[in-house]
Structure 1
Amino acid sequence: MFQDTRQTYGTLSKSLHWLMAVLVGWQLLKFGDRIADGEHWVGQTLVPWHISIGTLLLVLIVIRLVWALQQRNRRPEPDPALRTFVKAGHGLLYAVLLLMPVTGILVMVGGGYGLSAFGMQLIAEGEEVAWASTLGGLHSPLAWALTALIAGHIVMALFHHFVKKDETLRRMV
């Protein structure tokens, strides 16, 4: 089943969710740079992929947003009592997931570094761009916000599974 239904999410929704979960988890390893100035296995092996993975995540979140909009009338409905809370939480997750790579690109362009992903030069190096650098300054605070949103998302999924014992988590697995 490729498309979503009222009972469960489809193959594409599940695949995008879990692929992005793994990639965002990888991105959050960047916090490890704050430990011993990144002089450890994680900082030297996984973190150098940060910009490339962030660029890939930008593509994936755009695909995911377009897909979610196309599937919005097919997707499982949240508990009516919690609908506003659920939609706001997911809306914030989508917004921050989109803003993270955008502000990351602004950091690079604003600093005059250009943008390279997976060995391809996407934006040439150039002069510093003050406004881009300023907006790019939101990248780190957004990373902390995303971490909090992810933690809340996981806690709520586990709450639904173990406390409410409903099918919420199973729909995405």
Structure 2
Amino acid sequence: MINDQQHQYGAVSRFFHWFTAILVLWQFAKFFDRINDGEHWVGETLVPYHINIGAFLLVLVIARMIWAFTQLNQRPVNPQAANLWSKLGHISLYGLLTVMPLLGICKMVGNGYGLKVFGCQLVERGAEIAWMAQLGELHSPVAWLLLLAIVGHIVMAVKHHLCGDKQLLRSMV
């Protein structure tokens, strides 16, 4: 089952969800880069891919939003989870997952580092662009906000599962 259905998300939606989750988890390894100036296994092994994965996540999240829009009328409907707070939470997650890489790009380009993704120089090194650098400074605080939103997402999924709606969590697993 590739497409979403009323009782379960399809393979494509589940792939987008879990692949995004894995990549975002990898991105949060950057927090460990602040320990001992990144001179440890995490800092030397995972963190060097931060920019590449961030750029890939931007493309992945946009593709995921397009897919979700095409599946809108067939997605599982849960009356308990279909309230305003749930919708705002999901919109916030999509928004933060889109804004994070854009702020990272602003940080890199604004500080004159240019932008190199998967070995391709997309933006050459150059002069600093003050407004972009300033906007890019929001990358780290927004990462903390994204982390809070993800924790909230997980807590609410588990809460719904434990409080009687066993199908909600199962529909994405």
CA distance in 2, matches of 1:118, 1:79: 43
CA distance in 2, matches of 1:80, 1:165: 8
One-letter amino acid of the structure 1 residue matched with residue 93 of structure 2: L
The Cα offsets for residues 96-142 of structure 1, whole Å up to 9 and x where unpaired, read as 00000000000011011111112121211111111111111110111
Aligned-pair CA distance for 1:82: 5.0
Q: CA RMSD in A?
A: 1.3
CA distance in 1, matches of 2:79, 2:150: 20
Please tell me whether the aligned partners of residues 9 and 172 of structure 1 are also in contact (alpha carbons under 8 angstroms): yes
Structure 2 unpaired stretches of 5+? none
Q: Does 1:8 find its partner at 2:8?
A: yes
SS in 1 for 2:55: helix
Pairs aligned (count): 173
One-letter amino acid of the structure 1 residue matched with residue 8 of structure 2: T
Identical-residue share of aligned pairs (%): 53
The match for 1:17 is 17
The Cα offsets for residues 116-169 of structure 1, whole Å up to 9 and x where unpaired, read as 112121211111111111111110111000100111111111112223242111
Structure 1 unpaired stretches of 5+? none
The match for 1:48 is 48
Please tell me whether the aligned partners of residues 52 and 117 of structure 1 are also in contact (alpha carbons under 8 angstroms): yes
The change in CA–CA distance for 1:107 and 1:7 in structure 2 (over 3 A counts) is same
CA distance in 2, matches of 1:131, 1:81: 40
CA distance in 2, matches of 1:164, 1:50: 39
TM normalised by structure 2 equals 0.95
